[in-house]
Structure 1
Amino acid sequence: MASSTRPPGRPRSSVDAEVFAATLRTIDQLGYTRATVDRIAAATGIAKTTIYRRWPSKGALVTATLVDSFGPLPLTGRDGAADIAAAIRYGVRAVAEPGVAAAFAGVFTDAIGDPALREILATQLQDPYRKVLMETLGLSEQRVLFVIDVVIGTLLHRMGMTGEPMVEADVDALIQMLQRELA
């Protein structure tokens, strides 16, 4: 009998990718509230217990899904104004992906009354971007938090009010506004 070096079951990255895709798809189709872990598990054919072993709550799962969806910021560190524009355009594209805005808005709403979820959001989602922006742009923590609040808040507000991402002219105006403010 040949021995296997791989543990039984699907590879972790494969399970993660399936669950993240199903999470966004389910949120996009049903809305954040109705996108339960049970429904996400059913959409993947992966046991609910497998999901809960990786993510202890729906909020933790949605946060991990958002982190995966966003990935690293496309910054060069050579030109602050260009990096601000690139970061904003990157955020616009990410928030416009199906399910992402609803996932953001839902998990943020849940976090209002859940300090543990706020901690997960802060450490896993916001902190990596905050640190990269501080380092790349040479801004203080408070200024970077301001940029994150203005950009993400504006993008989510627009999606929530219209169901559509910002038009290019408004994205340009947001970029110019922040470039002036941070100059």
Structure 2
Amino acid sequence: MKVWTTWYNLPFLISLGLGLVFAVLQIVGGFGDHDSDADIDSDGHDFFDGALDTLGVGKVPLMFILVSFLSLFGLIGLLLNAVAFQFDSVYPSWFFAVVLVLSLPLAFVGTSRTSRLFAKLAPENSLIVGFEQLVGRVGRVSSPTISVTYGRVEVRDPHGTVHTVFAQLATGEPLPTNTEVALVEYDQAKRCFIAKQFGR
């Protein structure tokens, strides 16, 4: 038991514990609003957006991705440390860095595959909604500004689920954060919503 509570296992135990806590809170409905990204804008943010897309953002709820990543990161780290301890009862401090470097990409890949499986198995009435269900909805700008090139908007779908989507203004000057905007259409080519200030 002492081995599992040593310093080199603590980060992974904490990660696994957080994953389990978030999972329980999600199941019992005590975590609050479900939050998910509806899509990824690929213009000018290729690496970051590509990583989010690989993780399944826009296809499954963000909480599912968070729980999967934290749990897998914790499990993989603990398993790698356990394997190392089997070969040598003295744990070399430098090996902790190796375990971290290996655990992060392995957890990333595992989360990606888990999200894809979940997206395939998710029922049609799940939290995942089509883009057309968000067109016409009114939300608030969550990025510092929204302009004709980039912005993010928090909006609720008809079921009350909160989504953070990428959006652009069709025309006009940038609008500040918390401005109410309406999502008037979805641009399939740009993979983002077109928004305009609500009430104007």
Q: Would you tell me which structure has more helix in proportion to its own residues?
A: 1
| TM-score with structure 1 setting the length | 0.26
| TM-score with structure 2 setting the length | 0.24
Larger radius of gyration: 2
